[in-house]
Amino acid sequence: MGRLRKEEIPGLLARLRRKTAKLPPPEILRWQTEQAGEMGIRILLSGEDEWPPFLNDLHQSPPLLFMRGTLPQDGPMAAIVGSRRCSRAGREMAALLGRGLAGAGVTVISGLARGIDGEAHRGALDGGRTVAVLGGGIDRIYPHEHEALAGDILRRGALLGEFPPGTTPLPFHFPRRNRIIAALAELVIVVEAGERSGARITARHALDLGRTVGVVPGNPMNPVAAGSNQLLFEGASPVLNTQDALELLEWGKAKPESRPWSPERCREEGVGDLEALALRSGWSLARSIETLASWERDGRVRRLSGGRFEVSA
What is the distance between the alpha carbons of residues 143 and 141, in angstroms, rounded to a whole number? 6
pLDDT bin (cut points 50, 70, 90) of residue 12 is low
Based on the fold, state whether residues 149 and 297 are members of the same structural domain.
no
Query: Can you give the pLDDT at residue 43?
Result: 81
pLDDT bin (cut points 50, 70, 90) of residue 2 is very low
Based on the fold, state whether residues 155 and 122 are members of the same structural domain.
yes
- Domain limit, last residue, from 203, 225, 249: 249
* Alpha-carbon distance values, 158 to 101, 133, 138 (Å): 17, 8, 10
Based on the fold, state whether residues 278 and 203 are members of the same structural domain.
no
Based on the fold, state whether residues 125 and 95 are members of the same structural domain.
yes
pLDDT bin (cut points 50, 70, 90) of residue 254 is very low
Residue 157 in this model has a pLDDT that exceeds 90 = yes
Residue 1 in this model has a pLDDT that exceeds 50 = no
Which residues are CB-neighbours of 229 under 8 A, at least 6 positions away?
Answer: 215, 217, 218, 220
Which of 28-37, 97-106, 160-169, 182-191 bottoms out in mean pLDDT, i.e. has the lowest? 28-37
What is the distance between the alpha carbons of residues 299 and 313, in angstroms, rounded to a whole number? 10
Based on the fold, state whether residues 239 and 276 are members of the same structural domain.
no
Based on the fold, state whether residues 241 and 189 are members of the same structural domain.
yes
**Prior bond to 26 cis, omega within 30?**
no
Of 263 and 257, the one with more pLDDT: 263
Structural domain harbouring 272: 263-311
- What number is the average pLDDT over the span 303-312? 89
State the CATH number of the domain containing residue 211. Answer: 3.40.50.450
Based on the fold, state whether residues 294 and 216 are members of the same structural domain.
no
Of 189 and 33, the one with more pLDDT: 189
pLDDT bin (cut points 50, 70, 90) of residue 114 is very high
Based on the fold, state whether residues 285 and 189 are members of the same structural domain.
no
Based on the fold, state whether residues 82 and 181 are members of the same structural domain.
yes
Residue 270 in this model has a pLDDT that exceeds 90 = no
- Domain limit, last residue, from 249, 272, 289: 249
Query: Can you give the pLDDT at residue 256?
Result: 44
Based on the fold, state whether residues 130 and 88 are members of the same structural domain.
yes
Total domains present in the chain: 2
* Whether the predicted model's global pTM rises above the 0.85 cut: no
Q: Is residue 269 part of a domain?
A: yes
Percent of the chain whose pLDDT exceeds 70: 84
Residue 119 in this model has a pLDDT that exceeds 90 = yes
